């Protein structure tokens, strides 16, 4: 698979916006991390996404470049006694996390303001964060296959981690919300090296969602016209749970008042996990809606503890 970053740009926002983000996501998420907007090549498509990481990696990288330059040119620092002294240090390596968005096309796409807070928070927990906006999002005439070829946008983005010197590619986590939950299951079907996965309000049975959410039905109907009736089953984790990685630790979060993706979706997949003997935790949040409004602090604590425990 072709996979490379075409463009990287550090997100810089006015101080007023940064203050707003600090109040919502916490100061470490904003002040101790770097979030970049990126464009990368995925199967010939120029896909937009984000890259986030702890700010400490920048000083480590600069030290590495400086030390490498000194070694290459035979330059050493001398102490006051005249003895040669070499710089010795270690570049920090952080585990990787790929975050999968919900929605379709521009609906659900993450803007730079939100990305600075959302992905900065994950990076402040000690992760290198990768997030794709999927290939059809900003291509006017492109068709969103809603779990089709854009799954490669996730897999190709993960390959980019090999070019990030401070990314520990032996330690992967994955997170998805809503449609992103479905995308997470589809990606995990092909990547069995992910140690932990978090799915919030995730779609696990596309057919059921089509009966409750008109916009999901419309998106899937276009896919069915192209791929045939099997398109729904091919995107539903309840039908391929036995193909998911057995060593992965799954945290399933769902609101009991979710009227977009019914909470029965979480019950269905965890029922399959029970049958298969897979490691999971199911958390149903009382009165929680699809966006888990008013539950942020509780949800963030659940997510952070899960990631730090298993990755």
Task: Give the pLDDT score at 3.
Answer: 45
Confirm if 251 and 196 have CB atoms less than 8 A apart.
yes
Map residue 291 onto helix, strand or coil: coil
Element (H, E) at 281: strand 280-285
Task: Give the pLDDT score at 55.
Answer: 96
CA 209 – CA 190 distance, rounded (Å): 24
Looking at the domain 17-55+91-310, which fold is it?
Answer: Rossmann fold (3.40.50)
Task: Give the pLDDT score at 77.
Answer: 39
- Output DSSP code: residue 259: S
CA 168 – CA 157 distance, rounded (Å): 15
Task: Give the pLDDT score at 226.
Answer: 86
Task: Give the pLDDT score at 61.
Answer: 56
Strand partners, 237: none
Task: Give the pLDDT score at 65.
Answer: 42
Nearest one of 90, 88, 183, 68 to 134, comparing CA atoms: 183
The pLDDT profile of the chain, 311 residues, written as one tens digit per residue, is: 444 899 999 999 999 999 999 999 999 999 999 999 999 999 999 999 999 999 998 765 544 444 444 343 333 434 444 554 454 456 789 999 999 999 888 788 999 999 999 999 999 999 999 999 999 787 777 788 888 999 999 999 999 999 999 999 999 999 999 999 999 999 999 999 999 999 999 999 998 888 877 878 888 888 888 888 899 999 999 999 999 999 999 999 999 999 999 999 999 999 999 999 999 999 999 999 999 999 999 999 999 999 999 99
Map residue 161 onto helix, strand or coil: helix
Q: How far is CA 164 from CA 62, 95, 156, 230, 231, in A?
A: 14, 11, 14, 38, 35
Confirm if 93 and 60 have CB atoms less than 8 A apart.
no
Task: Give the pLDDT score at 78.
Answer: 42
Map residue 54 onto helix, strand or coil: strand
Phi, psi for residue 160 in degrees, rounded to 5:
-60, -25
Q: Tell me whether residue 20 is exposed, middle or buried, using C-beta atoms within 10 angstroms of its C-beta: 0 to 12, 13 to 18, 19 or more.
A: middle
Nearest one of 238, 159, 248, 261 to 198, comparing CA atoms: 248
- Output DSSP code: residue 30: H
Q: Give the N- to C-terminal CA distance of the chain in Å, as an integer.
A: 26
Q: What are the tokens at 98?
A: 């790929």
- Output DSSP code: residue 144: P
> What is the domain partition of the chain in residue ranges?
17-55+91-310
82 backbone φψ class: left, alpha, beta (φ>0; ψ -120 to 50): left
Contacts of 185 (CB under 8 A, 6+ apart): 176, 199, 202, 204, 237, 240, 244, 269
């Amino acid at each position: 698979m072709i996979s490379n970053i075409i463009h990287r740009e550090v997100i810089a926002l006015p101080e007023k916006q940064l203050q707003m983000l600090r109040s919502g996501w916490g100061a470490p998420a904003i002040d101790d991390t770097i979030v970049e907007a990126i464009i990368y090549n995925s199967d010939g498509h120029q896909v937009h996404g984000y890259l986030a990481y702890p700010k400490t990696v920048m000083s480590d990288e600069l030290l590495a470049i400086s030390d490498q330059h000194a070694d290459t040119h035979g330059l050493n620092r001398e102490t006051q006694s005249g003895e040669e002294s070499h710089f010795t240090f270690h570049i920090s390596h952080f585990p990787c996390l790929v975050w999968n968005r919900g929605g379709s096309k521009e609906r659900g796409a993450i803007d730079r303001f939100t990305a600075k807070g959302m992905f900065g928070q994950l990076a402040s927990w000690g992760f290198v964060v990768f997030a794709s906006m999927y290939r059809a999002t900003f291509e006017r005439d492109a068709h969103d296959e809603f779990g089709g070829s854009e799954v490669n946008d996730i897999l190709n983005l993960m390959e980019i981690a090999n070019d990030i010197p401070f990314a520990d590619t032996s330690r992967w986590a994955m997170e998805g919300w809503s449609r992103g939950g479905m995308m997470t299951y589809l990606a995990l079907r092909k990547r069995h090296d992910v140690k932990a996965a978090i799915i919030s309000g995730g779609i696990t049975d596309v057919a059921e969602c089509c009966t409750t959410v008109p916009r999901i039905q419309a998106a899937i109907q276009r896919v069915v016209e192209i791929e045939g009736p099997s398109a729904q089953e091919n995107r539903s984790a309840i039908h391929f749970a036995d193909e998911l990685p057995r060593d992965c630790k799954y945290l399933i979060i769902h609101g009991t008042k979710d009227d977009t993706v019914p909470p029965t979706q979480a019950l269905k997949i965890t029922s399959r996990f029970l049958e298969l003997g897979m490691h999971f935790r199911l958390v149903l949040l009382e009165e929680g809606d699809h966006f888990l409004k008013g539950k942020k602090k509780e949800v963030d604590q659940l997510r952070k503890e899960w990631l730090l425990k298993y990755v």
